[in-house]
Amino acid sequence: MLPDKLHRNRTVLTVLFACALVVGGGMSVVEASPPAVTVSSVSVSDDEPETGDSITVTPTVRLSGEGSGTFEVTEVTLEDASGTQYSEADSLGTLGAGDTIDVPLSATFDTAGRTKLLVHVRGMQYDADGNRLGVVTTMHPTYVTVSEPSTETETPPQLNVDTEDLVAGSESTVTVTVSNGDDEQVTDLSLRLSGLGENQTRIQPELGAHNSTTFTFDVTPPEAGTHSLDATLTHADGSVSTNESVTVQSLNGEAVVHATTVTENGSTDLRYHVANHGNAPIENVVVSGAAVGTALPTTVIQSVEPGTTETATVELNERPTGPATISATYDVGSTTGSTDQSVRFANETADAESASQATTETPGSGTAPATFGAVPLLTGGVVAAGSIIGYRSWRGRFDR
């Protein structure tokens, strides 16, 4: 049997050995673990795409900076919740502790709605000595809202054709107004007008949004009746056309000529009045006259519009008396016309006796009655010859 002292020493050694085993076991438990793999963030190029659009989803794969070891990224995929795979990337390299890598993945959606996308990362974990520790996977969700494509309704340009009173053989104006009610400008405009024996084109480079422009065409209808007038606009994005049924009147070149004299401060002026009772302008109106024993001056009136009267004033060296004939020739459409009027210029004595009955024309007024009936009003010393003796009603001569 051992002495008590030796027994106590052996007991202490046993306890120390046991403690050493416990401490050694504790050191193996706290040995450093390998760093963790995560998807630290996900960016989406468009999180509200339309069906048919392609977007890019870019996850950032990160190996934490804590611990030691590496991670080989073998595969990153993008799927939806049903398992449909949109994109895949593989053999992306090895990450060290604290490293990151961005992996762009594409996706295109066929149906609208809110879609849950899942980023899956798969790879091999290694320890600090390069020993393979095993396959590691991680997953990260993200969401996109897919909508149907918006349908923008384009507003085509509108055409409006406006015509004056059209007369056969007489030049008239046709205007076509193009209106752009769309939010975008119209470019490369070409407007063609056809019909009435015409085929004309006008061009314009552009027409702004919510704006309009007017094109003008001069036309000469060849004959009376109902005709078709077509306007067609072509532009960079298409074309639009309209058709108008227009009525062309027969040419009426009726005109009436008249004359009055005005005396003031011993000077006498002769005033020729030409009234257009027709439906087309009369042009190049040459007015002249002949009185007893003398020819009256000749003058020219450039144009008289339908329903209007123009007056030309000439100075006289000698006041005419007695009967006279006033004549006018003119162009109307592609023809010519003429008209005569018989008047009687009273002498100064008769003027003085009838002054209370005659209408005196104000010098310089430049106006005349808009129409002249069977008994025209003669002013400034001109009176009707009897009961319009010698009056010749209008006659038009047209050289077609």
**Residue given tokens 């959606």 in the structure block:** 109
Q: How confident is the model at residue 7 (pLDDT cuts 50, 70, 90)?
A: very low
What domains are there in the chain, each with its CATH number? 37-146 (2.60.40.10), 158-249 (2.60.40.10), 255-383 (2.60.40.10)
Cα–Cα distance between 157 and 242 in angstroms, integer?
A: 11
* 106-131 pLDDT per residue, tens: 999 999 999 999 999 999 999 988 89
Interval 287-307 mean pLDDT: 93
Interval 237-253 mean pLDDT: 93
* 32-54 pLDDT per residue, tens: 567 889 999 999 999 999 999 99
Task: Please name which of 108, 120, 190 lies closest in space to residue 144, comparing C-alpha atoms.
Answer: 108
E strand segments, 147-208: 158-163, 166-167, 172-180, 186-195, 198-207
| Higher pLDDT, residue 216 or 360 | 216
Phi/psi region, residue 164 (left: phi>0; alpha: psi -120 to 50; beta: rest), is beta
Q: Check residue 5 and report its DSSP letter.
A: H
- For the cut 80, the answer to whether the pLDDT of residue 181 exceeds it is yes
Interval 217-242 mean pLDDT: 94
Torsion on CA atoms 276, 277, 280, 283, rounded to nearest 10: -20
Cα–Cα distance between 346 and 355 in angstroms, integer?
A: 11
* 126-170 pLDDT per residue, tens: 998 889 999 999 999 999 999 998 776 788 999 999 998 899 999
- For the cut 50, the answer to whether the pLDDT of residue 366 exceeds it is no
> What's the pLDDT score for residue 387?
28
| Higher pLDDT, residue 30 or 359 | 30
> What's the pLDDT score for residue 348?
60
Secondary structure of residue 174 in the 3-state scheme = strand
* 184-216 pLDDT per residue, tens: 999 999 999 999 988 999 999 999 999 999 999
- For the cut 60, the answer to whether the pLDDT of residue 235 exceeds it is yes
Interval 69-77 mean pLDDT: 94
| Higher pLDDT, residue 138 or 384 | 138
- For the cut 90, the answer to whether the pLDDT of residue 234 exceeds it is yes
Please work out, in degrees rounded to the nearest 5, the angle formed at the alpha carbon of residue 303 by the alpha carbons of 302 and 307: 155
Q: What is this structure's pTM?
A: 0.50
List the beta bridge partners of residue 235: 238
- For the cut 70, the answer to whether the pLDDT of residue 391 exceeds it is no
> What's the pLDDT score for residue 198?
87
Lowest mean pLDDT among 141-145, 175-179, 346-350: 346-350
Q: How confident is the model at residue 17 (pLDDT cuts 50, 70, 90)?
A: very low
Lowest mean pLDDT among 44-48, 78-82, 314-318, 337-341: 314-318
Residue 229 CB coordination number (10 Å) = 22
Q: Based on C-alpha coordinates, what's the Rg of the chain?
A: 53
> What's the pLDDT score for residue 31?
52
> What's the pLDDT score for residue 26?
42
Average pLDDT, the chain: 81
Q: How confident is the model at residue 346 (pLDDT cuts 50, 70, 90)?
A: confident
Please work out, in degrees rounded to the nearest 5, the angle formed at the alpha carbon of residue 371 by the alpha carbons of 366 and 376: 90
